[in-house]
Chain A
Amino acid sequence: GAVVSQHPSRVICKSGTSVKIECRSLDFQATTMFWYRQFPKKSLMLMATSNEGSKATYEQGVEKDKFLINHASLTLSTLTVTSAHPEDSSFYICSASGWREFNEQFFGPGTRLTVL
């Protein structure tokens, strides 16, 4: 149990375009999903927390108009990087909780975004 998928695994895009990343919990209903960004050789940086049917809670310094998060169902959350710039290039990882205990988080495989 507790399988989380993420798509796409890699994406290369031009500056100014938007990129959508999907995160799905495959075998459980995720009460909460989290979006992280990870720079090389660094820890995970929480960007936002999303609960199904409500607006995401963004961490300080994360632009909500740039990183749009939608949590339409208990198994799907999406992150859209709007008007991407090279500095948005990073490894984006989602996680989901709700499989057994609320604070256990299970991670998707991540999305490597490269903005040219």
Chain B
Amino acid sequence: GENVEQHPSTLSVQEGDSAVIKCTYSDSASNYFPWYKQELGKRPQLIIDIRSNVGEKKDQRIAVTLNKTAKHFSLHITETQPEDSAVYFCAASTSNYQLIWGAGTKLIIKP
């Protein structure tokens, strides 16, 4: 079945620096790639997503890139702030609408 791998599992960066989280997927039919942010004990919040007909998407400090050939997609957060600390999940979806989830990355922003 489809698999999504996410790296790293933990990422610690200095406040103000950039953070990059990477995911790879196995099903070439995947066409939708969302990123969720989850704070402890709370629901996952959709922060950005990208579809397979686009290579890059940006929303203020957050950007996502997609390489369909390599089946990679990445989340980029610039000018990190303490409130960016959370667990981030990538996911991939095909036409059956189910999301296949990555294992998550715990992002720690050091003051």
Chain A contact residues, CB within 8 Å of chain B = 32, 34, 42-44, 46, 49, 91, 93, 97, 101-110, 112
Contacts and interface: CB of A to CB of B under 8 A. Distances in A.
B101 A109 contact: no
Nearest to B101: A43
B49 A104 contact: yes
* Among B41, B45, B89, B99, residue most surrounded by chain A Cβ atoms (within 10 Å): B99
Interface in B76-111: 89, 93, 97-99, 101-104
B43 interface: yes
Interface of B: 31-32, 34, 36, 41-46, 49, 89, 93, 97-99, 101-104
Contacts, number: 48
A107 B43 contact: yes
B42 A109 contact: yes
Contacts of A34: 98-99
Contacts of A93: 43-44
Nearest to A49: B98
Nearest to B104: A43
A49 B103 CA distance: 20
